[in-house]
A and B are shown apart, each in its own frame.
Chain A
Amino acid sequence: MIRSKSGYMFLVFFIVLFTFTGCRDEEDKPVETSLKLSFRHTVDGADLIADEMIYTNAAGNEYEITEMMYFISDLKLYHQDGRVISPAEWDDIHYIDTNMPETFEWIVGNQVPEGNYDSLTFTFGISAEKNQSFMFVNPPEVNMAWPEMLGGGYHYLMMNGWWKDLQGVRMPMNFHLGIGQIYENNTGDVDDIIGFIHNAFTINPGGSLFTIEKGKTKTAELKMDVSSWFDTPEVFDFNYYGGAIMQNQEAMHTGCLNGRDVFSISWN
């Protein structure tokens, strides 16, 4: 029992000092203006069917796709007022993997300036300045590593599957794009490498003008026509280039030329 004034003073002090604070509470921030992109993979307009030898490319090669992994980066939006907006404030490199449907959506940004836009562009793969070895250390992205002695960094694209050669033999397809090598004597031997070529390229998927409204989420679907990797403007023939091309700059260059029109966009 407290018998003195001092005792009461200490009690009051104690109550004031150690008064418990309220429970956790959430306070929403103002609704954000965001942009989301979703990815879809098709062959000649129909959804890609994996693990079936049902496709034929422009060169007449029968092929099947088992999986496809790739990066896109450096998304840019072209505002009608002339500004070029880079909306991806969180992550400007996005990984897409046909084995992982959760990668089919990219939350590009949450603070995108409102207004009317003419178009968007992005880099297929990773630009030379950003494509650094050991940038990713965890699966799945780490498994896209491109050997240091072949130029380092990461694959732009890994498209794996099978194709049939002229004798009808089922051959492995490793349609891999990344940093190319210049071989002094065209030996394909790593000791023969005298330089590297960054093959990442910019894609404008076309599409109509679009408007981003304040406080709303704008969504679009980016559709990749897989067969387009093998035609327009060059016909890609596996019988000529072979199934594994990561040490064949000519083949990768052809693939990159063809890749410029593999995507189309539709706004929702």
Chain B
Amino acid sequence: MNSNQIIQRAIVVVVLSLSGLLLKGQGLSDTLIKLPEVTITDSVFNRMTPRTVIPGEIFQKTNVADIGDILRNEPNISGIRRGGYAVDPVVRGFRYSQLNIFLDEGIHIEGGCPNRMDPVLSHIEPEQIERMEIMRGPYLLQYGPSPSSSIKIVTRDENAFVVRSPKVVSVTGYDNNRKGIRQHLSISGSDGTLYYRLGGGIKNFGNYTDGNGKEWESAFNKKDFYADLGYQINKGEAIIVSYKGTFGREVMYPALPMDEIEDNTHIFSALYTKHDLLIPDNNIQVSVYRSGVYHEMDNRFRPQYSQVVPPYTGKMQAVAKVNTSISGARVIINRKTGNFLINGGFDSELARKDGVREMKMIMQMNGQEFTSIKYFNLWKDAFILNNGLFTGISSGNRKFSYAASMRVDYNYSDSGDTLVIAKDDITWFEVKPAGKVLLSLSASGSWDINKKAKLSLGLARGTRAPDMQERYIKFLATGYDKYDYLGNPDLKPEINYQADLMFNYSLKNSRIFVNLFRSDVQDFITGTLVPPSVARPVSMGAPGVKQFNNIDRAVFYGIEAGVTSTPVENMGVAFSAGYTYAFFPEIEKIILENNQAAGTVILKNDPIPEIPPFEAKLKATYLLVGDRLKPGIEIRAVAKQDAVSGASYEENSPGYVIANLSVDLIPYSWLTITSGINNLFNKAYYDHLNRKLSGSSGKLYEPGRTFFVNLLIRI
């Protein structure tokens, strides 16, 4: 029996075991249902759009210091790992700027690294999070164009002005695999008029070891500091100003050609709110913000920086420095009229990016040392200005509820690049100012079939303009395939036509959800090969250059499903699964022989690269000692991925099954101790989306067995 068969059987066993538990649970007599905590974390699909809510406590109790890594616990959410930190989320196969990731009232962050060492979530520390909401689909339109999914990170206390004495929260964690420690402290309070919150923390994590005993250069150091200050002008008006700073140092990325040396993030924001005391649904929000990132990376920790590494015959040194910022303002007005809730508003955002790379080659020839240096612009005074108008309406009765929203954006971009790439009367790269109108629409409705069953349908058109990288990046390996990528200022917007069908069913002690979706994406933006005669790679290890281009059509469809149940008293069980299949109905494949183009072929229904495989998770917990002790076990099964892109020469990846154990101990109301073992059987495995180790064809493995302990103190 090969490993694939073992995995498939394991999945079947897991599913059958779950079925048994559920059947048992359904047979219980009518008693008070005590849903375990895992029901909250698993998924809350209790509205008419496919939304998941993750409470902040989850981020405090986990041993994982990286938000992107934590998100991989959700069905149909995967992540791209490039190192020990900053896993880049992939929701239903969509990634990067296909996801609208923002803080609070719509604060966006533009990562500095073209290799995506610092995706948006890496600029926020998990301990700062009050709540996270994941909207699968282009339904949330008031926080900017939302092409495929939205991730909203709530960091502000939404009940800031409730009178309370100072509250102190301390999170302390230890991870034995990485010899990692983290300490976070915050204090907050309010006298009803003034509100304050101060916090900060450090994380110092070493390299991790995988299940084969191999140590990966994946260490990282992070610090963060934040402060909120609020003033309630009167009972209906308040203003809060905030600062958040995160600082990364020497963050290692074994799957990238460089490491992060320094990354500084500063976010300043202010929010004014006013609501009607009699009708709280009548309110207005005005917010402004500025987020800025300085990112510096180089290869000083790589052997070729200081020595000649065959087959190179010289030392190769590279350093890149990038500055980015986004400044934005937003006004949102909500109003209740009869049975209708109406909202509307406008926003404006200006994103800027500028960066340079320095390449140095040191050679020994005829007994002399020669140094060659060259500077390349990664971005040159590039900017995107997006102005949007949005409106929405929702209503409902006991049987039906529905909502609709619309958003129109004018997106304008330009860059100071002077590079022109042209060959044989074809211009491949030339910057010109570009303005685009983006129209996004969404509608959703739900039908309460009876007290137990609910059916919801969502239809949407989500539009996104090409991002800074897709328009203007110049020769950096930003994708999964090590190719250097070249921007394309002539890209058209990507339009996602999506449908979601959701079914929820509640039993006395169980709840079932099934979400089905299909996305038909027009002008899908992806990389296509550029002949070396047009452009050659600049990054070490890049086999060639790909340029972002629009592909006529891409199709995604899939499912998320899950069950939460209390089969016996004090026991909680949650099962969830997710799968996405995505393909290009038609795409050209360049047949390569010895890296030379030997011909082309048209592929029909070719899978899109980098789509995560089927994944299922089962978690069971049991409450003991009057709810003070809660042991839990979690099994995660991931199928092999053989629906891989032929046009991109993507490789299959094997499936795996891992188990995690954890115990929550609450000796006092103010103290929660969580300890456990992740990857209990020390399985050596990697996710399909994990990047390949720099300079090799082998994938970056996930951490092996990890013992952890966390102390959460709330006074």
**Separation in Å of the A166 CB from the closest CB of chain B?**
22
Inter-chain contact B604/A26, CB cutoff 8 Å: yes
For the side of the interface on A, what is the size category?
35 or more
Q: How far is the CA of A218 from the CA of B600 in the complex (A)?
A: 18
**Separation in Å of the B682 CB from the closest CB of chain A?**
36
Inter-chain contact B557/A18, CB cutoff 8 Å: yes
Inter-chain contact B313/A143, CB cutoff 8 Å: yes
- Which chain B positions have C-beta within 8 A of A60? none
Query: Contact mask B365-400 → A, CB, 8 Å, 1/0?
Result: 110101111100000000000000000000000000
Partner of A22, one of B368, B447, B605: B605
Q: How far is the CA of A247 from the CA of B366 in the complex (A)?
A: 9
**Separation in Å of the A127 CB from the closest CB of chain B?**
13
Inter-chain contact A148/B371, CB cutoff 8 Å: yes
When A18-B516, A93-B532, A133-B372 are in contact, do A6 and B447 touch as well, CB less than 8 Å? yes
Q: How far is the CA of A150 from the CA of B601 in the complex (A)?
A: 44
Q: How far is the CA of A4 from the CA of B536 in the complex (A)?
A: 62
B572-607: which residues lie under 8 A (CB-CB) from chain A?
581, 583, 585, 593-594, 596-607
> Is A174 an interface residue, CB under 8 A from the partner?
yes
A93-152: which residues lie under 8 A (CB-CB) from chain B?
93, 102-103, 105-107, 110, 133-140, 142-143, 145, 147-150, 152
- Contacts between the two chains (Cβ within 8 Å), count: 143
Inter-chain contact A106/B596, CB cutoff 8 Å: yes
- Which chain B positions have C-beta within 8 A of A191? none
**Separation in Å of the B198 CB from the closest CB of chain A?**
47
**Separation in Å of the B104 CB from the closest CB of chain A?**
35
Q: How far is the CA of A90 from the CA of B366 in the complex (A)?
A: 35
> Is B537 an interface residue, CB under 8 A from the partner?
yes
- Which chain B positions have C-beta within 8 A of A28? 601-602
Q: How far is the CA of A53 from the CA of B92 in the complex (A)?
A: 64
When A18-B516, A134-B372, A147-B365 are in contact, do A91 and B596 touch as well, CB less than 8 Å? yes
A20-53: which residues lie under 8 A (CB-CB) from chain B?
20-29, 32, 34
Inter-chain contact A21/B583, CB cutoff 8 Å: yes
Most chain B CB within a 10 A radius of its CB, from A102, A105, A137? A137
When A14-B516, A138-B541, A143-B312 are in contact, do A148 and B536 touch as well, CB less than 8 Å? no
**Separation in Å of the B611 CB from the closest CB of chain A?**
14
> Is A7 an interface residue, CB under 8 A from the partner?
yes
Q: How far is the CA of A90 from the CA of B597 in the complex (A)?
A: 6
> Is A10 an interface residue, CB under 8 A from the partner?
yes
Partner of B605, one of A10, A25, A140, A174: A25
Inter-chain contact B311/A7, CB cutoff 8 Å: no
Partner of B536, one of A13, A135, A139, A140: A135
Inter-chain contact A152/B372, CB cutoff 8 Å: yes
Q: How far is the CA of A158 from the CA of B608 in the complex (A)?
A: 43
When A91-B596, A247-B366 are in contact, do A142 and B533 touch as well, CB less than 8 Å? no
Q: How far is the CA of A190 from the CA of B370 in the complex (A)?
A: 10
Q: How far is the CA of A240 from the CA of B145 in the complex (A)?
A: 72
Query: Contact mask A190-215 → B, CB, 8 Å, 1/0?
Result: 10000000000000000000000000
**Separation in Å of the A18 CB from the closest CB of chain B?**
6
Query: Contact mask A147-169 → B, CB, 8 Å, 1/0?
Result: 11110100000000000000000
Most chain A CB within a 10 A radius of its CB, from B531, B538, B596, B599? B596
Inter-chain contact B531/A89, CB cutoff 8 Å: yes
Q: How far is the CA of A6 from the CA of B555 in the complex (A)?
A: 27
Inter-chain contact A18/B597, CB cutoff 8 Å: no
Inter-chain contact B372/A147, CB cutoff 8 Å: yes
Inter-chain contact B361/A145, CB cutoff 8 Å: yes
Query: Contact mask B444-480 → A, CB, 8 Å, 1/0?
Result: 0001010000010100000000000000000000000
Inter-chain contact A27/B601, CB cutoff 8 Å: yes
> Is A92 an interface residue, CB under 8 A from the partner?
yes
> Is B359 an interface residue, CB under 8 A from the partner?
yes
- Which chain A positions have C-beta within 8 A of B555? 21
When A24-B646, A107-B597, A148-B372 are in contact, do A91 and B533 touch as well, CB less than 8 Å? yes
Inter-chain contact A29/B600, CB cutoff 8 Å: yes
Inter-chain contact B606/A24, CB cutoff 8 Å: yes
Inter-chain contact B602/A29, CB cutoff 8 Å: yes
Inter-chain contact B537/A138, CB cutoff 8 Å: yes
Inter-chain contact B374/A133, CB cutoff 8 Å: yes
**Separation in Å of the A251 CB from the closest CB of chain B?**
13
Q: How far is the CA of A136 from the CA of B533 in the complex (A)?
A: 12
Partner of A23, one of B371, B424, B605: B605
Partner of B593, one of A20, A107, A134: A107
> Is B518 an interface residue, CB under 8 A from the partner?
yes
> Is B689 an interface residue, CB under 8 A from the partner?
no
Which residue of chain A is the closest to B559 with respect to CB atoms? A18
- Which chain B positions have C-beta within 8 A of A148? 370-374
Q: How far is the CA of A145 from the CA of B374 in the complex (A)?
A: 13
Inter-chain contact A10/B598, CB cutoff 8 Å: no
- Which chain A positions have C-beta within 8 A of B371? 147-149
Q: How far is the CA of A21 from the CA of B583 in the complex (A)?
A: 9
> Is A54 an interface residue, CB under 8 A from the partner?
no
- Which chain B positions have C-beta within 8 A of A34? 599
- Which chain A positions have C-beta within 8 A of B538? 134, 137
Q: How far is the CA of A33 from the CA of B397 in the complex (A)?
A: 68
When A10-B501, A24-B606, A25-B603 are in contact, do A90 and B540 touch as well, CB less than 8 Å? no
Inter-chain contact A138/B542, CB cutoff 8 Å: yes
Inter-chain contact B605/A24, CB cutoff 8 Å: yes
Q: How far is the CA of A13 from the CA of B370 in the complex (A)?
A: 69
Inter-chain contact B359/A134, CB cutoff 8 Å: yes
Q: How far is the CA of A106 from the CA of B533 in the complex (A)?
A: 14
Inter-chain contact A90/B531, CB cutoff 8 Å: yes
> Is B539 an interface residue, CB under 8 A from the partner?
yes
> Is B314 an interface residue, CB under 8 A from the partner?
yes
Q: How far is the CA of A223 from the CA of B434 in the complex (A)?
A: 52
> Is A244 an interface residue, CB under 8 A from the partner?
yes
Q: How far is the CA of A133 from the CA of B311 in the complex (A)?
A: 19
- Which chain B positions have C-beta within 8 A of A29? 599-602
Partner of B594, one of A6, A22, A103, A138: A103
**Separation in Å of the A224 CB from the closest CB of chain B?**
19
Partner of A105, one of B365, B531, B594: B594
- Which chain A positions have C-beta within 8 A of B447? 6
- Which chain A positions have C-beta within 8 A of B557? 18, 20
- Which chain B positions have C-beta within 8 A of A107? 593, 596-598
> Is B363 an interface residue, CB under 8 A from the partner?
yes
**Separation in Å of the B358 CB from the closest CB of chain A?**
11
Inter-chain contact B366/A174, CB cutoff 8 Å: yes
Q: How far is the CA of A105 from the CA of B595 in the complex (A)?
A: 11
Q: How far is the CA of A246 from the CA of B367 in the complex (A)?
A: 12
- Which chain A positions have C-beta within 8 A of B516? 14, 17-18
> Is B654 an interface residue, CB under 8 A from the partner?
no
Which residue of chain A is the closest to B602 with respect to CB atoms? A27
B533-553: which residues lie under 8 A (CB-CB) from chain A?
533, 536-543
- Which chain B positions have C-beta within 8 A of A7? 449
Q: How far is the CA of A142 from the CA of B601 in the complex (A)?
A: 31
Partner of B365, one of A21, A25, A102, A246: A246
> Is B499 an interface residue, CB under 8 A from the partner?
yes
Inter-chain contact A24/B594, CB cutoff 8 Å: no
- Which chain A positions have C-beta within 8 A of B537? 137-138
Inter-chain contact A147/B606, CB cutoff 8 Å: no
Which residue of chain A is the closest to B450 with respect to CB atoms? A3
- Which chain B positions have C-beta within 8 A of A106? 596
Inter-chain contact A17/B501, CB cutoff 8 Å: yes
Q: How far is the CA of A93 from the CA of B603 in the complex (A)?
A: 29
Which residue of chain A is the closest to B361 with respect to CB atoms? A145
Most chain A CB within a 10 A radius of its CB, from B359, B540, B583, B599? B599
What are 14 sample pairs from A and B whose C-beta atoms fall under 8 A apart?
A14-B516, A17-B499, A23-B605, A24-B605, A24-B646, A26-B604, A29-B601, A29-B602, A90-B533, A105-B594, A134-B374, A142-B314, A145-B372, A148-B373
- Given known contacts A90-B533, A134-B538, what 11 new A-B pairs fall within 8 Å (CB)? A18-B516, A25-B605, A27-B602, A29-B602, A90-B597, A91-B596, A134-B374, A137-B539, A148-B370, A148-B373, A149-B370
Instruction: State the 9 A-B residue pairs at the shortest beta-carbon distance, nearest first.
Output: A147-B370, A148-B372, A139-B311, A90-B597, A91-B532, A25-B604, A27-B602, A92-B533, A143-B313
